[in-house]
Structure 1
Amino acid sequence: MSLGLKRRMALAFTALVLLMLAITAVGWWQTRGLGTQLERVVEGHNRRAELAHRLEAAQLDWTGQLHATIAYTEAEDLKAQEAQVRKARSRYLAAEDALAAALKDSSDEALRQRIERIRAKRQAVETPLDLVLRNALNGSGAETSLIMLGPTERGEQEWQQEIAGIVAAAVQANEAEYHAARERQAWTERLFLLLSAGASLLAAAMAVGLTRSVTQPVDAAMHVAERIADGDLGVEVDTDYRHEFGRLFAAIATMQQRLRETVRGLQSSAAAIDSASAGIGAGSRDLSARTESTAAQLQQTTAAIRELTDALLEWTRGAQQAGIVAETARTEVQSGHAAITQIGERMQGIAAMSGRIEEIVGVIDGIAFQTSVLALNASVEAARAGAQGRGFGVVATEVRSLAQRAAGAARQIRDISHDVVRNLAEANRSVSDAGLTVTRVVEAAGEAARLVDGIAQSAQQQRGTVLETGKAIAGLDDATQQNAVLAEELAASTEALEQHARHLSEALRGFRLAAAAADGTYQAADLVPALA
C-alpha cells in the first residue's frame, strides 16, 4: 500500500513517539521495581536485621546482667542489680515482640518458625534463670547459683544460636535482596541499551527511507524543470508517482503541454504575420507602381488640358474676328462660309478632345476605385496583424480617403466633360444652322452677328470650364502624389512588420517541441524551425 508523504512522516513520527513512550514505560516499570526492592531492603530486611541485632544484644545484656548478679553479696547491690536484670529482661521481650511483629507479614516461613523457636528456647531457660536470680537475691551464695546455672548453660547456648541464626538469616536476606536489585539494575541497563540501539536504528532507517522517498522525486522534478527552463519542451515527465509528488508531476506535465501549445500558437502566428506582411508588402508595392502610373497619366492629362485651353483661346479670338467679318458679310459671303467651316472643324476637334478627357476621367476613376480596394485590403490585413499592423492600418485608411477624394474629383470632371460635350453639340448645331443660313447672311447680317457673338460667349464659357477642369486635374495630381508617399510609407511599415516576424521566429528557435507520434504521444523533436 502506497502512502503519501504526509502520512509517511506522520507514521514515522508516531512510531518514534510510541517507541519513546515504550522506553519510558519500561524505564518507569523497572525504576518502580527497583524502588520496591530498595524499599524492601531499607524498610524490610534492614529493619529485620536491626531488630535481630537488637534482640541479640538484649539477650546478651539480660543473661550478662543475670550472671553478674551472682557476684554481688550486699543487699543494696543485689537490689540494684535485680532492677538492672528486670530492665534487661523487659528490653529483650520488647525486642522479641518487635521482631515477631516485623516477621508476622513476611513471606519467609523459615524466619517465622525461627522466631517461634527463639521464644520456645527463651521460655525453656527463663524459669531456671528466675530461680537463679531469686536464689542470688536470697543470699544463697555464688556457688549455689553457679550450680543452678549449669543445667541452663546448654539451653542458653541453643537460645543464642537461634538468635544468631535469625541475625544471619536477616543479613543474608538483605544481601540477597541487594544482589537481586543489582541484577535487575544491570538487566534494566542492558534493556535500555537495546531499546536505545533499536530506536536509533529504526530512526535512522526511517530517516533514510523518508529522505530517499523525498529526494528522488524532488531530483526528478528539478531535472525536468531545468530541461524545460533550457527550452526543451519535449522532455518526458514521469507521471507514475502518487499522492503529493503525483500531483506535482501532473502539474509539470500540464505546464509543459500548455507551453507546447503556446509555442505552436506563436509559431503559427509568426507564420501568419510573415505571410500577411508579405501580401501587404506586395500590395503596397503594386499600389506604389499604380500610383506612379496614375501620376504620369495625370501629367499627360494636364498637358492635354493646357492644349485645350490654348485651342479655346484661339477659338474665342476667331469668334471675335468672325463678328467683325459678319459686319461685312454681304460682300464676303464666301469668306464667311470658309470661316464657318473652320469653326465647325475646330468644334469637332474640341468634341474629340472632350471625349479624350472623358476617357482619361474614366481611367482616373478606375485607378481611384482600385486604390480604394487596395486600401480596404490593407486595412483588413492590418487588423489581422494586430498591434504590429496598427501603423500601416492608419496609412491604409488615409490612402482610402484620398482614393475617395480622387473618385469625387473624377466625377466632377466627368460632369464638366458632359457639359462641354453638350455645349459642343449645341455649338455644332449652331454652326450647322449657320452653314444653312450662310446664303442668307446678307439678308440676316445682323442676326449672324448676334449668333457669332453668342458663339464667342459660349467659347468663353467653355474656356472657363476647361480651366476649372485643369484645376481639378491638378488637385487630383496632388492627391496622387500624396498617395505615392503613403504607398512608400506603407511599404516601409510592411518591411518593419516582416522584420518583427523574423525576430519572433528567431526567438522561437530556442524551444524544442515534442513531435506527435501516431499513437497521440509526443517524442523529442528538433528545434522549432525558423520562419522564412
Structure 2
Amino acid sequence: MTATAMAPRRTFRLLSRMNLTSRLTLMAILTMAIAVGISLWTSMSITSGEMYRRAQTALDINIKLLDSALTAYGPARRDGDKLYFGNTLINNNFEAVDRVKSIAGGTATVFMGDLRVATNVAKPDGSRAVGTKLAQGPAYDTVFNKRQTYRGEANILGENYLTVYQPIVSGNEVLGIAYVGVKKAEFFTVLEQLMWTSLIGGLVVIVLAGAAMFFLVRRIFAPVGIICRDLVAMAMEASGRTIDAKHLSQIEEMHEAVTLLGEATRAKQAAEAEAAALRERVDAQRRRRGEQAAVAAEDRSRAVQERVRAMDEISSTVKKNAGEAAEADRVATSTCDVADRSGQIVAQAIEAMSRIEESSNKISDIISVIDEIARQTNLLALNAAVEAARAGEAGRGFAVVATEVRSLAQRSSQAAKDIKQLIVSSSDRVKQGVGLVNSAGSSLSEIVEQIRKVAGIVSGIAVANNEQAAGLEQINRTLVQLDEASGGAAAWDADEEAMAA
C-alpha cells in the first residue's frame, strides 16, 4: 500500500484518539481556516483583475505616447533596410522610446518588420536589444497575419511581460511594430505583498480564535471527562477486563464501558446456566464412564493377548534368522579360506612362470652364441674355399671340404635362428601367461577382501538378530505384565463406580 493511500488512515486514527474538546476545537479552527481562505482567494481574485485592468490601461497610454512621438516626425516609410518617420531615421534613434520610459515607465520598441531597430529593452549583458527579432507566437501572428493590435502576455528575452504590439502600417503594407510593455513580476509585486500580508493576518486570527475556542470548550465539557473515567472504572471492575484508552476518544471510551457492563451481566447469567448444565453432564458422564471402563478393560486384555501371540511368532522367526545368519557366517569364513589357498596357488604359478621366463632368456642367449659360431664358421669356410681355389688342383679336395663345412655352417645358423624365434615366441606367451596369472591373483585378492566384508556383515546380522530376539522376549514379558495390570485397573474402576453409585 502506498504512502498516499495510507495517509487518510493515519489521519483518521489521529482524529479518533482526540478527546471531545480537541475535536470541537479542531472543527472550529478548520471552519475559520476555510472561511479565511475563501475570503483571501476572493479578495486576491478581485485585486488581481483590477491590477491587470490598470496595467492594460497604462499600456494603452504608453502606446499612444509612442505613436504620438513617432508620428510627430511625419508619416512612416521604409527605404531598404532603414525605417523613417518623415525625414527622421528611426534605426538606432532612441529618442522616442526613451521619452516613453521617462514619462510613463516600462519598455518601448520600434520594429522594422520583425527586427528591433530602436528599443530600451536590455539584453542580459545590459546593452540594448537592437538587431534581435520578434519570436514567432501569438503577437507575431496577430500583427503580421491579422494586421491587428496584440494585447497580452509575451516572453521577451526570457522574461514575461504585459505587452501591446501595434502594427505600423503604410497603405496596405505592415512596415513594422510599435511596442510597449512592462515586466509582469514588477507590476504584480504589490499584489504579492498584499497576498502575504493577508495570509499572515489570517493565520494570526485563526491561531488566536482557536486558542480561545479550546479553553472555552474545555471548560464547558470538563464534567464529561469525569463521567467517562467513572464509567470506565465501573466497567473494568465488573468485567475484569481493561480498556485501552490510548486509541479511543471519550465518547468511544464511554461506549466501550457500556458494552463491557452489558457483556458482564450477560456473562454472569450464562455462567449460572452453564454451571447447572455442567452438573447434569458430570453426573451422566460418571455413569457412562463406569460402564465404558469395564468394556475397555476387556478390549485391552484381548489386544494384549493378541500382541503376545504375535510377539511369540516374531521371536521364533528372529531366532531362526539368527541361526541361518550364523550358518551363513560359517560358510563365508570357509569360502574365504578356500580363496586364500587359491591365492597362494596363483602366487606359486606366477613364481614358476617367472623361472620359465628366466630359462627361456638363458636359452636365447646360448642360441645367440651358436648363431655367432655358425657365422664365424661360414666365414672360415669361405676363406678356405678362396685359398683352395688359389691352390688349383692341389687344393681341390680341400675346397670340397670347405664347401661342405660352409653349407653345414649356414644350416646351423638357420636352425639357430628358427630356434631363437621359437624361444622368443614362447617367451612372449610366457609373459602373457604371467600377466594373466597376475590379473587372476589380483582378482582373487579382491574376491577374498569382498568375502571377508560379507563375512563381517553376516556376522553383524547374526549378532543383531540375537539382540533382537532378546529384546522381543523382554517385550513379551512386558505385555504379559500389562495384561495383568489391565485386569487390576478394570477391577479398580468397577469398585470406584460402585462407591460413586
Same-fold status (TM-score > 0.5): no
Larger radius of gyration: 1
Could you tell me the TM-score, scaled by structure 1's length? 0.30
Bigger strand fraction: 2
Q: Which has the higher contact order (CA 8 A, sep 6+)?
A: 1
Could you tell me the TM-score, scaled by structure 2's length? 0.32
